Amino acid sequence: DLNINRYVSAGLAVSLEILGIQEKDISEAVNTALNTPTLQDNVKTMSRLFRDQPMSAIDTAVFWS
């Protein structure tokens, strides 16, 4: 619960309550995620930062082996 709150606060996610969840709730959450430009921009920014690594995965594996 704590992690999702951090992502929602950062504008990176839409939260759903797992107990009593219905198809309508999922549909609304997906529509919100797809139709909220700031959420999309925040996710793209986070994705870009996550993928921006100084070495490729194989180079990192070779370095640490």
Note the pLDDT tens digit of each residue in 35-46: 999 999 999 999
pTM of the prediction? Answer: 0.70
When divided into structural domains, the chain yields a total of: 1
The band of 9, judged by pLDDT with boundaries at 50, 70 and 90, is very high
The band of 63, judged by pLDDT with boundaries at 50, 70 and 90, is very high
Residue-number span of the structural domain to which 36 is assigned: 2-64
Separation of alpha carbons 62 and 55, rounded Å: 10
Nearest 10 degrees: Cα torsion 44, 50, 52, 57: -130
Query: Is the pLDDT assigned to residue 1 strictly greater than 70?
Result: no
